[in-house]
Every structure is written in C-alpha cells, then in structure tokens.
Homo-oligomer: A and B are copies of this chain.
C-alpha cells in the first residue's frame, strides 16, 4: 500500500514514481538482455538509464551504470562484444566538437570509476548507431559490459576526446581480455572483429589468446621482478613478484604487439598508475608524474631488454597532448 503525502493526489504520485531514477548496477529485474524499447523515455522508465539524451548514465561518485550507443560520435567503434566508446563533452548544440574532453566531466569520470571499481555497465544500442549491431528502430538493451581501459585520442580536428574500451561480461572477448599468457601454437589475432560474430555469438576458441608466456618470463627474469619505475618487487613467501605490463596496449584500437620491446616489468601499484595515465615516460626514459608534472626518476633498464621508443610515444599520446 502506498501512503501519499497529504498534498498529493494519486495521479501526482504516479508521475513521481515513473520519474525517479534508482541507479542499480547490473541486470534490472523484468528487463532481460535483448528487450526492445521504442524511445529513450521508455529506456529511462525501465530503470536502465538515467537520462533521455545524454549517453552516459552515472556520476563520478557512484560510477556509470549504463551507456547508450547511438551514433553520437564518429570515433565510436562497435565490434559486438567489444565497444570503443567516446566520452562526453566538448560539443556544441549541433554536435560539433569545439573543445577538448576531460575527466572532469561527470559522465567520463563515472565510466573511469566503473573501470576502477569493476562495476558492470548496461549497454543500450539505438537505431541511429551506424553498425551492424544496432537495432533498425528504437533501442535495445544488449547486456552487461566491463570497462577495461580508458585513454585520450587526438582527433583530426585537433580536439582530444576520452575513449573507453568495453567488453561484454562473460563473452569470449572477455576471456581473452583477461590476458592469460600462453605459448601454444596458435597465432595472436589482434582483429577484434574476428573474435565475435553478429548477435554476440563467439567464433574464436579459447586457444587464441594473445599473450606469450615467454614474454612474461623473460621480462620478469631480466628485471628480477623489480619494478622499472620504483625499483621494488612485491616480496612473497614464494619469492619476489611483479606484473608484466604492455606499453602500447593489446587489443583494439591500440593493437600493440605482445613482444618484450613493448613490455615493462612493474609492481602492481605502478602498473595501475601506468595504465591509467598517472605517469608517462619521455623518449630519454625519464619518468614524469602526470599529476605534478615533475620528473620522478629514470626508467630502470636491462641490457637484454630493448624497450622501443615508438611504444613509449604511443602510450604518452594517450595521456598528454603533444
């Protein structure tokens, strides 16, 4: 039974109920994947997405619970189970880019929070998206995705936009994205369109993972598990430990190679900083703290480990306007 405030009629109360948006992360009861909606307002009333126009549903504090893919940015790329999504901001009313995007925008900050907290994001595709995965009319809820990475891209018009790689939770692409090193005989395949077919059906086998166990082994061995940024290893009862990070990221749209020249031995803390643009490396291998702009040291090197400057430049281009 509903208790109405004294100054409210039953009709008013109905309006209040359908207008209030309760942010829920994950599936919404009664709205399974592939449900179709005629309008953005229907999507909103279903509790799938907070807004009628904006692409990103979320706040910097809570994270993003949903996005709509509807052709708003030419920089978006839709591979089915992998989506490259462009952030919010910097457009005029005519959808022309007139300024850089930034993480100060609450929608962009919300997607970064979802990435860092591992929150799942509902993806809704709209009819205006130019992609084989878009519905021909209206809007369709297409399931839960992880935000696995974000970066900045300089467009041809000179403006910087923020981009996000989202991968469908539980899909073959998700399993591949977990970056399991492997040295069986299959060749790495960086074309994400090959990893999934239409309708989200996966067409790869699990063998086609794109990390080499030998790269991990060599890089850790050369540096004796010491971080090339801070010089420390994480010492466990089983011995020193470290991460092997790729400088130019694997997977679309970066498609960095899985070779030692594109890898760094890092502690987990500096790995997170590196992957999220808290530090970058100059061509002379000085390390810059991106938050203060100060040089914090030099990249530790080993004679056998030839890090390629082109990958360092690529990583830097994801975080600083050059």
Contact = CB atoms under 8 A, between A and B. Distances in A.
10 nearest CB pairs, A to B = A26-B184, A268-B268, A112-B238, A26-B182, A27-B184, A170-B175, A236-B276, A170-B206, A25-B213, A236-B278
Contact of A213 (B112, B119, B184, B272): B119
Interface in A265-302: 267-269, 271-273, 276-278, 290-291
Given A120-B180, A170-B172, A273 B236 contact: yes
A172 B169 CA distance: 11
A41 interface: no
Contacts of A239: 60, 109
A169 B290 contact: no
8 contacts: A26-B207, A27-B184, A27-B186, A117-B181, A118-B178, A118-B179, A119-B180, A267-B268
A215 B318 CA distance: 32
A24 B120 contact: no
Given A27-B186, A169-B180, 4 more contacts: A117-B220, A119-B213, A268-B268, A268-B272
A136 to B, nearest CB: 27
Interface string A190-222: 000000000000000011010001001100100
A7 interface: no
A132 interface: no
A51 to B, nearest CB: 20
Contact of A234 (B28, B117, B272): B272
A238 B103 contact: yes
Nearest to A183: B25
Nearest to A186: B27
